[in-house]
Amino acid sequence: MSLTAAKSEIACMRGGREGGGGATETAGSVPAEVSWEMLDKSRFFVLGAALFSGVSAALYPAVVLKTHLQVPQHSQQPRPLLTAAQILRTDGPRGFYRGFGTSLAGTVPARALYMAALESTKSAVGTAAVRLGLPEPAASTTASAAAGVSAAIAAQLVWTPVDVISQRLMIHKHKYLGGVDALKKIVKYEGLNGLYRGFGVSILTYAPSNAVWWASYSVSQRFIWQIVGYDNSDYSSVMAVQGLSAAVAGGAAAVVTMPLDTIKTRMQVMDCGGSMGRTVKGLIKEGGLCACFRGLGPRWASMSLSAATMITTYEFVKRLSTKQDLNENG
267: confidence class by pLDDT, cuts 50, 70, 90: confident
196-200: long-range contacts, CB 8 A cutoff, minimum separation 24: 196/160, 196/161, 196/164, 197/160, 197/164, 197/267, 197/268, 197/273, 198/160, 198/163, 198/164, 198/263, 198/264, 198/265, 198/267, 198/268, 199/156, 199/160, 200/276
What would the DSSP string read from start to end of 79-139?
Answer: -HHHHHHHHHHHH-GGGGGTTHHHHHHHHHHHHHHHHHHHHHHHHHHHHHHHHTT--HHHH
* Domains, the chain, ordered by start: 39-321 (1.50.40.10)
Instruction: Summarize the confidence of residues 191-219 as an average pLDDT.
Output: 85
CA distance 203 to 166: 18
What's the chain's average pLDDT? 80
Name the band, by pLDDT with cuts 50, 70 and 90, for residue 328. Answer: low
d(CA 158, CA 290) in angstroms, rounded, equals 30
Q: For residue 39, which phi and psi values (nearest 5 degrees)?
A: -90, 140
Q: How far is CA 235 from CA 3, 108, 192, 315, in A?
A: 8, 28, 47, 11
CA distance 265 to 85: 22
Query: Please, which pLDDT band fits residue 325 given cuts at 50, 70 and 90?
Result: low
For residue 119, the one-letter residue type is E
Vertex 63, ends 72 and 249: CA angle to 5°? Answer: 120
Out of 61-65, 156-160, 210-214, pick the least confident: 210-214
Confidence band for 162, pLDDT divided at 50, 70 and 90:
very high
pLDDT of 22 strictly over 50: no
Average pLDDT over residues 231-251: 81
Q: What is the pLDDT of residue 144?
A: 87
95 versus 319: the higher-pLDDT residue is 95
Q: Could you tell me which of 283, 285, 255 has the C-alpha nearest to residue 270?
A: 283
pLDDT of residue 211: 84
- Would you place residue 274 in the very low, low, confident or very high pLDDT band (cuts 50, 70, 90)? low
Mean pLDDT of 250-270: 84
Q: List pLDDT tens digits, range 285-305.
A: 887 888 888 888 888 888 888
CB 146 within 8 A of CB 125: yes
